[in-house]
Structure 1
Amino acid sequence: MVRAVAVRTVAGDVPAEQLGVCDAHDHLFFGSPQLPGQELRSIPAARAELAAFAELGGGTVVQWTPYGLGRRAADLPPLARETGVRIVAATGLHQAVHYEDATLAGLRGRLAEVFVAELTEGIGTSGVRAGLIKVAGGFHALDAHARWTMSAAAEAHHATGAPIAVHLELGTGALDVLDLLCGELGVPPRRVILGHLNRSPDLTVHRQAAASGCFLAFDGPSRANHATDWRMPDAVRALAEAGHGDRLLLGGDTTTAAARSVNGGPGMPYLLRRVRPRLAAELGDMGPELVRRVFTENPGRALAVEWSGP
């Protein structure tokens, strides 16, 4: 049996046009040994963040938290019901530095199988099925771990059709990722989402990546350590003027407790409170329509697939 084209949310598959305004890359729950003391674990804080996003018109949040990093999959459906915000969960694997050696050793030889099971059967015993696969590259390079995880992601994609979302370290390595996923491993570019391109505002690389047909995510605004916010509208404008406005996505990428709006940070609401109106104002005549597409139409096309199975 094959379902109609739909986005797989934690509450079930929904038509792409029902996503509403979408935060295409964020985290409700996340815990890494690389961020001690800043884990996203609080259910009340996650609920408050979603409610604040919804108050500004937000309709869907895509959580890129992958395997082993505190996804709290069973807690996602209640949060979606309570706040009215749709949530998409992820399977996949982050960079090796985020895991203990024993965790990675336990996945050897079965990584693609784990991804497929979480996409089609559910994450752990939660019954919540993932809607995308998240993997990661390195700084200007792809190490053996990245190649292993991306190979497994490609295998899972070919089995399920699920999109693959890629963390680009500081926004670098986009073309290497496309060479591997789309060249060597045969994943259609339209099924690949490249994340963090705002962190490396190289307009030439952006255009080359967009020309492949993949989706480009500008996510994690307002981070002082990246200092590239002011260049993002120019990058979006350049891509739109080059005919790639239908490939663009925007996300908040909240990864620490201090960054949440409920703790005094920008959080999820910042995306709609500041980024959306700034883009609409700075992009001239194309601004309002482009912003509408980036927040509503493009995420649906990036995430919707023909899911097989019941």
Structure 2
Amino acid sequence: MKTTPYLTSRSVLGISLVATLAACASAPTSKSLDEARATYSRAAADAQVVRTAPVELRKAQQALEKAEAALRAGDDAIDIEHYAYLARQRTEVAIQTEKLARAEQAIGEASQQRDRILIDARTRDAEAQRGQAEAARKLAEERQAAAQASRAQAESARARAKTLEQQLDELKAKQTERGMVLTLGDVLFDTGRATLNPGAARAIDQLATFLKENPARTIEIEGYTDSVGSEQMNQTLSERRANAVKNALMDRGIESNRIAARGFGEDNPVASNATAAGRQQNRRVEIVISGTSR
């Protein structure tokens, strides 16, 4: 019996889904990963999504498998959150692709219906059927307009999902339980200073562009230091550095009510302060991105 491309694609994704979910059954758990699994499972079980968006669905599966592997290997939670986020995002692209295909089909059917109605109307008495034909034409056009609006909405949602994914990749932001987090190292400032270096302009420009293109997003700027010097000095320095980044964004047109800045001094180290390399990692500014895009 000849196997169609649709059945082959659906069978491959079905086998992959079974294998992926079987691996999940005995794996440790993660809230974000559980959500990614559930989202992917629903999409992969939808025959229309499998048929119209096999490539995006496969990318989502690969990201999910990476998250599963990272969880089993005991990798950092940030890496697991990042891959789980990519899996959800790519699954959403697949879902929106299917909606777009469905909307385009509806447009075609509405257009064919309108043509049939017009042809039938010509064969009837023009005067007697004019009102009925006009009403039918309006109904067909309304249905076509609704289908076009649905397609435009699906296209817009898919474009937003892809654009957001690209923007966050360019910023090198990581998905965490707090949201997307962008880490700026100590290269932004000279040692013991809170004035931004000229080399920081590119990172600040990228962040400002992202915020302008996503007006519903807000951020919290968190300044951190190593343990060199007094605790009070480091607290003050971290606050000044966080505010320096906030002021730089405001200079680029970002509203102050979208930016919160706080200093945490020596708190929440990401590495040991016993080594120079560890202290360098602890001297940082973290940008926590919140909200949703419009």
The structure richer in strand per residue is 1
TM-score (norm 2): 0.28
Structure whose alpha-carbon radius of gyration is higher: 2
Q: Higher relative contact order by CA 8 Å / sep ≥ 6: 1 or 2?
A: 1
TM-score (norm 1): 0.27
